[in-house]
Structure formats: structure tokens, C-alpha cells
Structure 1
């Protein structure tokens, strides 16, 4: 028998349920939730007791977590995952998933974008990025294009915006000059590289303010950051979508531009004039 679930919760995927309830979870339940997120793609291959052992929590804690997420037990979790694989190609289906239902995909994309750009932390991040002495944006793998775009957009509105790691380099050199008054934006969507948490901790230890831009699977890393901008990447298709992430970049950069006012507008005009003098970009 299923436990009572609110209509809103029933519409959410398991990782979104974890994100929605994380503030109400106990520390042990958060550990258990982090393990679920780490093993999302192969969760159905485990038994509940094995997951509890992986998370280093009791079986009772794991059971409480399932109920907090709106599931009666682990069997319902497995059924939830089976349904996702069948209807949306998740996790990472081999059969194309939701290609045949583009209206559903587009509707979900619009909702995810809306939730990302209306995140309550956005104004705080904008204020931080506008006031920081220096901004360093960090991102690897599939997070790198988002980090690169954020750096490029911010560089139009303000000076001293850096990207790390540069090709062939590591992050240590970039963090050596970071300190109080600086901001470090770490972009970390799922399939993060080993050592991701170490970089967050190193950045936080420098005294800089750390902003984490990541999907719900980064819940355990969020505690290290000053601010966490949660941005889902799950879609109705077989592959993750970064539409919300790129929209969020535009909103952040636009907010910084507006916050800095005339000096930022003058900087934009100066950059445009430099483009023209050097004929670096096409007109129009």
C-alpha cells in the first residue's frame, strides 16, 4: 500500500523529491539520500539493506527516507525507476526514450527553466557576483560549457572574471590567489570528476564566497558552498538537458549588468567598439 503523497510530490522524479524535502531530512537521512543520488542509474540493482550499508546508516533510516519521499518502501522506489525508464528513457535509456513525445518534453523544459531562473537564491548570487573583487568560474566535463558561457557573459558586465581550469591546467594555480572578497562559482552537474568536493572545500577555506550551480545530485556538496543554485538537468529525452542552466547564466549576467549600472554599460560599449576596431565579429 502506498503512503499518502501530495499531488505535487507525486509528479516529481526521485531526485527532485530529494531536493524538495532535503531541509526536512535528518543528517542521517541526508546521507542516505546522497547515496541514492550517487547510484541513481543502477539503484534498482541493489537491495534496501545494501543501500543502507553503502550510506552507513541503519535500515530503519533508509526506510524513513523512502517514506519521506512519498514511497511506501523500496519496491515502490524500484517501480518508480522502472516507470521512468519506460516512459522517459531514464536512466540514460538506450532506446531513445521520449523522442516520440516532444510536446511533453517541451512542457517539462519550460517548467524546469522557470524553476531555475526563479530560484529564491538568484538575487543573492547576483549581488555577490556584482560586488566581488574577482570572480573565478570553475567547471569540468559537461559543466565546462556552462562555466565558459557564464564567464563570457559576466566579463561583459564586469572586470576580472576568470575561468578554471584552463586547457592542460589544474585548478590549484587558480585558487592560489583567491581570498576574502572574491567569489568562486563552481558548476557541477552530475558525472562530476573525482576530487570535485576537494575543490569546493579548498575554495571555501580560502575565505572566498563559494556559489555552487548544480543539479539535485550535488546535495552533499551544497553544505560546503555559501550559496547553492539548484538547477535540474533531467529531461523527458534520453540525455540531460542544459536549457535551464544556460537560461540561468543569462539571468545571472543580466542581473549583474543591471546591478552595476552605468559603469557596466560603458564596459559593454567599450568591448563593442574594440570588436569593431579589430573586426573580430560579424556586424549585425
Structure 2
């Protein structure tokens, strides 16, 4: 799992000096060194001075090396491994407290976004910006998340659709797709057989596939996706959680808006004017 230290290194890497980049390389290869080695030992491993090491951590926003070490210990204690399903089906405990629910959702959110590479969002936003049409696809409860994605992006750009095979007429939906269209697939367990056929068609049509999925499916999703955004979705054994998925969709929308500020502003002003003209709000 990428720590906050590693995320900061990725974000500021281009602004580091060549000496500081040597330390960065050592830590990226083995972030566990923070807890097992002193600042002097890290400097020796990177072949730089202790003063350069101190300057490196300050440039990342830390007061000193001890603050970095303390953060690493807190992360280790807070993110101990936990299973995708905390209890076997016959041990499901109903009526969990609000505190239990909140704790699990926070762990899912924290782990998901701590592991997210900082360069991934701009790349995906670029794909979504270049797409003639944007499609969202989800099955079962993920269909609801797909519709949230459509609703978010419809505020930001034109030609946003759900690939939902209304009335089981998948052919009509697929006939509207084309090369360079972007397909945002949201898929958690359990996955229908139909998904395989739809993905095969999407790849043949040269659609660009972005998949939001659980960690257990990440390796398989990478076989057919241009980009994969793994989400932690641990539950107490029943009912998938979609908190991380929906939060990821919103983050993608924000990244898209940041790359297309002028067009997004015009789009939202147009929609607001239509709402006002139709007198839809109280």
C-alpha cells in the first residue's frame, strides 16, 4: 500500500533536486525503511549528506524526520490487514452499531485514497475529455452507482449515457457506441456472464475502458481496461458498500472539471438557465 509519504514523493518528484530524488528512489523501493533506519542511515544508502536528507523531508512538508517516522507508525497501526468479508455467512451479525458502520466505511475510504496514485486522475480525466461519448455501466446494485456517475458528468459535459440495455435491447445501446468513446465500468461481486460479452464488444469497438472495482478483481480488470481504480469495499458479510465507489466517481468528476474549466462552466450555466426557464425549482 502506498503511504502518505510515497504519495507526497510522487506529487513533488519533479520539483526535487537530483540528490533529493536519490533519497526518493530508496524510499519508493522500500518505504519500510522509515521505521527501521535512521536519517543518517538513509542518507548513506542514498549516497547523499544528512543535510540533504533533512532538506528532502522539509520539501515534502514535514518538520523533521521524526514526524515522518511517527506518521509511518500511525499508518501501520491503523491499516492492519482485514478481510473483504469480516464474518462467514452464518456468522453475520445484524444490527451493527453506527460506530461499527462508520469505522468500516472510514477504513475503506482511507485505504482506497491512500493507495491512489496522484498521476492516475489527470490521465483518466484526459481520456474522458477526449471521448466523443461517455458511457457508464453497472449491474445489480452497481447500476445505481453508474447512474450517479451519469448524473455527475451530465452536469459537466454533453453526450453522457448509461449502457443499460433498456428492455434487454443491448444491441440498440451498443450500436450508438464508437471508437474513442469512454466506458466507465463499475463492477463488484457478483458479476453476470453478460459482462464478458459486453466487454468483448467494447474492445472490438475500440472503446476506452475505465474500471472501478474491488481489489480482488483488479488483476482481471487490468486485462481488459485501459485504467483500473481499485476500491476497498470490505463489509460485514452482506450488502456491498458503495461509499468508496461513489466518492471515486465524484473525484473523477472534479478532476475532469479541473481540466475543462471553461467548457464545464458554460455547460452548467446552460443547464441552470434551462431549469430557470422551465420553472422547475420552488
Give the structure 2 partner of residue 123 of structure 1: 122
Find out whether 1:175 has 2:244 as its counterpart: no
What count of residue pairs does the alignment treat as equivalent? 204
* CA spacing shift, 1:176–1:8, aligned 2, 3 Å: farther
Query: CA RMSD of the aligned region, Å?
Result: 2.7
In structure 2, what is the Cα distance between the partners aligned to 1:160 and 1:171? Answer: 18
In structure 2, what is the Cα distance between the partners aligned to 1:138 and 1:278? Answer: 30
Give the structure 1 partner of residue 227 of structure 2: 227
Q: Aligned-pair distance for 1:235?
A: 2.6
1:108 aligns with one of 81, 92, 104: 104
Which has the greater radius of gyration?
A: 2
Q: Aligned-pair distance for 1:203?
A: 0.8
Find out whether 1:274 has 2:278 as its counterpart: no
Task: Return 5+ residue gaps in structure 2 as ranges.
Answer: 1-31, 33-75
In structure 2, what is the Cα distance between the partners aligned to 1:10 and 1:253? Answer: 28
* CA spacing shift, 1:171–1:138, aligned 2, 3 Å: farther
In structure 2, what is the Cα distance between the partners aligned to 1:197 and 1:93? Answer: 33
Q: Could you give the per-residue CA deviations for residues 89-112 of structure 1, whole angstroms, max 9, x where no partner exists?
A: x54854317x03x33432331232
Find out whether 1:95 has 2:164 as its counterpart: no
Q: Aligned-pair distance for 1:146?
A: 0.6
Q: Aligned-pair distance for 1:224?
A: 0.8
Q: Could you give the per-residue CA deviations for residues 177-228 of structure 1, whole angstroms, max 9, x where no partner exists?
A: 3232211111111112222122122211211111111112323233111111
Higher mean C-alpha displacement, 103-112 vs 129-138: 103-112
Q: Aligned-pair distance for 1:279?
A: 2.4
Contact 2:93 2:236 survives alignment (8 Å): no
In structure 2, what is the Cα distance between the partners aligned to 1:136 and 1:242? Answer: 19
Q: Normalising by structure 2, report the TM-score.
A: 0.64
Give matches, 1:226-265, under 5 Å. 226-236=226-236, 238-265=238-265
Task: Return 5+ residue gaps in structure 1 as ranges.
Answer: 1-5, 16-80
In structure 1, what is the Cα distance between the partners aligned to 2:198 and 2:81? Answer: 31
Give the structure 2 partner of residue 165 of structure 1: 164
1:13 aligns with one of 82, 102, 113: 82
Q: Could you give the per-residue CA deviations for residues 35-63 of structure 1, whole angstroms, max 9, x where no partner exists?
A: xxxxxxxxxxxxxxxxxxxxxxxxxxxxx
Contact 2:152 2:253 survives alignment (8 Å): yes
